[in-house]
Chain A
Amino acid sequence: MTLINLPRGGSERHWARALLVVLASLTLAATFSAPAGAVPSYARQTGSECAACHVGSFGPQLTPYGIAFKVGGYTDTDGQGTKVPLSAMAVANWTHTAKNLPEAPEHFSDNNNAALQEASLFLAGRLTEHVGSFVQATYSGVDRKTFLDQLDVRYARTLAIGEQQGVVGLSINNNPTLTDPFNTLAQWRFPYTASDFGFGTGPAPLVESLGGSVIGVNAYTLWASNFYAEVGAYRALSSGSVNWMNTGQVATQTVDPGKFSGVGTYWRLAYYKDMKRDNFNVGVFGFNAGVQSAEDPSSTDRYQDIGIDASYQFLGTREHIFTANASYVWERQKLDYSHDVLGAADNAKDRLNTFRLATSYTYEQTWGATLGLFNSRGTADSGLYGSVSYNDRPNTAGYILQADWTPWGKEGSWGAPWANARVGLQYTGYTRYNGGSHYIDDVNGSDRKASDNNTTMLFIWLAI
């Protein structure tokens, strides 16, 4: 069950509260849902325009050029002197939901909220010949907190064995999917920004729920330009560390932050082919971890995540760009702690399957349209979901439509590479929420339709 994507308002917040009790062992720490990926310091470093690395002239959807830059450890440069690896980013939005939120978030209303959702500072770029960074500190204007958002510090170099050569690297990071070079896994997939006043995209597997609450070391390679492989080991941060970085909404004295039994293991294999005109990737990935209560490590909830993913980009001359990104993740949960000890889960074993798809079209690297689909299905478990679901299932499904305009970021653009902006309109529609077309609003003790959560967001995203 995800915590990283939990919204700040609405009935899901109460669902989250219930789950924080039920899944105390899983509450390693929650992070804020934050986009990450508009980093003009990389453009200044490479001498390339944003459009070289990103579809639509704005992060985070990577082109093959951007993939090579990331795999290369963020160190590539145009050789024109040392550049300061600093960038800043801000996202402001206005959000309307079809029916008022079950309760107004602190400092805001129960509908039609405008907010500076986040303002971020990046340490992003080449530090030495072989070491580069992507580190993001963020102020959330909704939660009124500043926290360490993303951390990825890499060492990378080319390696030749006989006739073959590739890039090999190491990463220290705080999120299992942050390191991935494709836009199919949790951290980097559509939607690239979402409102904190919205209702999310449903429950997510553990591998997608750990941002900011773990620290890991990964080894990776992109070999012969085609084969991507990565393995990583993660430890949960202590509650003291989480509090120090202020990443945990739940890292308080009243909530058990949880910890891993041993290490969480992440693995990833993908075949990637860049034909210049177009490119694709097909891959598999997985994450395994045992999660214990920090205060009562007598037993463990075990999570096994296995996923498949695929992506395709038609880039052509960059006048008309089409992309498609998809993933499917199977999660097996063995809830020895939550079921046997806590008695909160009805079942000793549960499953959660999630499907995500996004297709986009971009014209002249400026005008973009994206359709996203999300679908999460899980085992019926009245202990876990009964308070918010009529059928005891967490099933949530819907679609996201987005239209956006990115005026700059191309070669010769005004203010390049400093001025970068995206303005967009995003609509999220729900066909199922917490099990069906209706669910239980446990804040008000009333029925609520899934479509009541339909969310319209107007946003402006700036980066410098």
Chain B
Amino acid sequence: MNRNRFAIITALIAGGLILAAGRQALAGGDARRGADVFAEECGDCHSKIPGRSKKGPTLTSVVGRKAGSVADFSGYSEAMKDSGIVWTVEKIDAYIAAPRKVVPGGKMKYDGLADAAARADVIAYVMTLQ
């Protein structure tokens, strides 16, 4: 019992730290601008409705999630599932900058977003999808 309680507290603290780190890293990101970036760059394949997957998996609570792990989404490539990635803000930033470089053989048909400010904005927006 005590062991379970310790595990839960540890998980909560870890989750909180990840979230806090993410928010801090996104200090320059503007979620309102990010909503527009999301609509222009991501919305065809990723839903803005929390928990909903489309061609791409839901991005709700993506920070801290293991890559390729959304249970009810079966569209992952083997490369994504085997990547061993746990999504951090930095990793998401690198991925949407150059998807095929971070996950060679991945399925996401996206050439990448070169604008670092736009990436920060869209990550800030994705963080609001709770």
Q: When the two chains form their complex, are residues A76 and B55 in contact, meaning their CB atoms are under 8 A apart?
A: yes
- Per the 8 Å Cβ criterion, residues 18-36 of B in contact with A are 35-36
- Per the 8 Å Cβ criterion, residues 20-58 of A in contact with B are 46-49, 52
Whole-angstrom distance between the Cβ of A159 and the nearest chain B Cβ = 15
Among candidates A48, A277, A411, residue contacting B40 with C-beta atoms closer than 8 Å: A277
- When distances are taken between beta carbons in the complex, the residues of chain B under 8 Å from A47 are 53-55
Tally the A-B contacts, defined by beta carbons under 8 Å. Answer: 54
**A175: CB under 8 A from chain B?**
no
**B78: CB under 8 A from chain A?**
no
Among candidates B40, B44, B109, residue contacting A316 with C-beta atoms closer than 8 Å: B40
Whole-angstrom distance between the Cβ of A301 and the nearest chain B Cβ = 45
Q: When the two chains form their complex, are residues A318 and B39 in contact, meaning their CB atoms are under 8 A apart?
A: yes
Among candidates A52, A79, A411, residue contacting B74 with C-beta atoms closer than 8 Å: A79
In angstroms, Cα B35 to Cα A319, docked, is: 12
Q: When the two chains form their complex, are residues A63 and B75 in contact, meaning their CB atoms are under 8 A apart?
A: no
Among candidates A48, A68, A277, residue contacting B109 with C-beta atoms closer than 8 Å: A68
**A317: CB under 8 A from chain B?**
yes
Among candidates B39, B72, B73, B76, residue contacting A317 with C-beta atoms closer than 8 Å: B39
In angstroms, Cα B43 to Cα A411, docked, is: 10
**B48: CB under 8 A from chain A?**
yes
**B49: CB under 8 A from chain A?**
yes
Among candidates B35, B47, B74, residue contacting A80 with C-beta atoms closer than 8 Å: B74
Q: When the two chains form their complex, are residues A318 and B54 in contact, meaning their CB atoms are under 8 A apart?
A: no
In angstroms, Cα B49 to Cα A170, docked, is: 37
Q: When the two chains form their complex, are residues A65 and B47 in contact, meaning their CB atoms are under 8 A apart?
A: no
In angstroms, Cα B54 to Cα A49, docked, is: 9
Q: How large is the interface on A (under 10, 10 to 19, 20 to 34, 35 or more residues)?
A: 20 to 34
Given contacts A317-B36, A411-B49, contact A46 B43 (CB under 8 A): no
In angstroms, Cα B112 to Cα A345, docked, is: 58
Return the CB mask of B33-70 against A: 1 if under 8 Å, else 0. Answer: 00110011101110111000111000000000000000
Q: When the two chains form their complex, are residues A65 and B44 in contact, meaning their CB atoms are under 8 A apart?
A: yes
Which single residue of chain A is at the shortest CB-CB distance from B35?
A317
Residue from B35, B44, B45 with most neighbouring chain A CB atoms (10 Å): B44
- When distances are taken between beta carbons in the complex, the residues of chain B under 8 Å from A77 are 75
Which single residue of chain B is at the shortest CB-CB distance from A69?
B55
Q: When the two chains form their complex, are residues A79 and B73 in contact, meaning their CB atoms are under 8 A apart?
A: yes
Whole-angstrom distance between the Cβ of B33 and the nearest chain A Cβ = 11
Among candidates B41, B49, B53, residue contacting A78 with C-beta atoms closer than 8 Å: B53
In angstroms, Cα B75 to Cα A316, docked, is: 27
In angstroms, Cα B75 to Cα A48, docked, is: 13
In angstroms, Cα B121 to Cα A372, docked, is: 38
In angstroms, Cα B43 to Cα A48, docked, is: 10
In angstroms, Cα B40 to Cα A317, docked, is: 5
Return the CB mask of B77-96 against A: 1 if under 8 Å, else 0. Answer: 00000000000000000000
In angstroms, Cα B75 to Cα A203, docked, is: 47
In angstroms, Cα B41 to Cα A277, docked, is: 7
Given contacts A47-B55, A48-B55, contact A315 B40 (CB under 8 A): yes
In angstroms, Cα B35 to Cα A80, docked, is: 27
- When distances are taken between beta carbons in the complex, the residues of chain A under 8 Å from B72 are 80
Q: When the two chains form their complex, are residues A63 and B44 in contact, meaning their CB atoms are under 8 A apart?
A: yes
Which single residue of chain A is at the shortest CB-CB distance from B38?
A317
Q: When the two chains form their complex, are residues A78 and B54 in contact, meaning their CB atoms are under 8 A apart?
A: yes
**A299: CB under 8 A from chain B?**
no
In angstroms, Cα B40 to Cα A276, docked, is: 6
In angstroms, Cα B108 to Cα A342, docked, is: 59
- When distances are taken between beta carbons in the complex, the residues of chain A under 8 Å from B41 are 276
Whole-angstrom distance between the Cβ of A379 and the nearest chain B Cβ = 46
Whole-angstrom distance between the Cβ of B68 and the nearest chain A Cβ = 12
In angstroms, Cα B48 to Cα A317, docked, is: 13
**A412: CB under 8 A from chain B?**
yes
**A238: CB under 8 A from chain B?**
no
- When distances are taken between beta carbons in the complex, the residues of chain B under 8 Å from A65 are 44-45
In angstroms, Cα B118 to Cα A277, docked, is: 13
Return the CB mask of B105-122 against A: 1 if under 8 Å, else 0. Answer: 000010100000000000
Whole-angstrom distance between the Cβ of A369 and the nearest chain B Cβ = 21
Given contacts A225-B111, A277-B40, contact A411 B47 (CB under 8 A): yes
Whole-angstrom distance between the Cβ of A42 and the nearest chain B Cβ = 12
Whole-angstrom distance between the Cβ of B123 and the nearest chain A Cβ = 17
In angstroms, Cα B79 to Cα A178, docked, is: 35
Among candidates B36, B48, B55, B73, residue contacting A46 with C-beta atoms closer than 8 Å: B55
- Per the 8 Å Cβ criterion, residues 334-359 of A in contact with B are none
Q: When the two chains form their complex, are residues B54 and A48 in contact, meaning their CB atoms are under 8 A apart?
A: yes
Return the CB mask of A301-331 against B: 1 if under 8 Å, else 0. Answer: 0000000000000011111000000000000
Residues on B facing A (Cβ under 8 Å)? 35-36, 39-41, 43-45, 47-49, 53-55, 72-76, 109, 111
A-B residue pairs in contact (CB < 8 Å), sample of 15: A47-B55, A48-B55, A52-B44, A52-B45, A65-B44, A78-B54, A79-B73, A80-B72, A225-B111, A276-B41, A277-B40, A316-B36, A317-B35, A318-B39, A412-B49
Q: Known contacts A79-B75, A319-B39, A411-B49; can you find 16 more A-B pairs with CB under 8 A?
A: A47-B53, A48-B44, A52-B55, A65-B44, A65-B45, A68-B109, A77-B75, A78-B53, A79-B73, A225-B111, A276-B41, A316-B36, A316-B40, A317-B40, A411-B47, A411-B48
Q: Which 7 A-B pairs have the closest CB atoms?
A: A79-B75, A317-B39, A79-B74, A65-B44, A52-B44, A47-B54, A317-B36
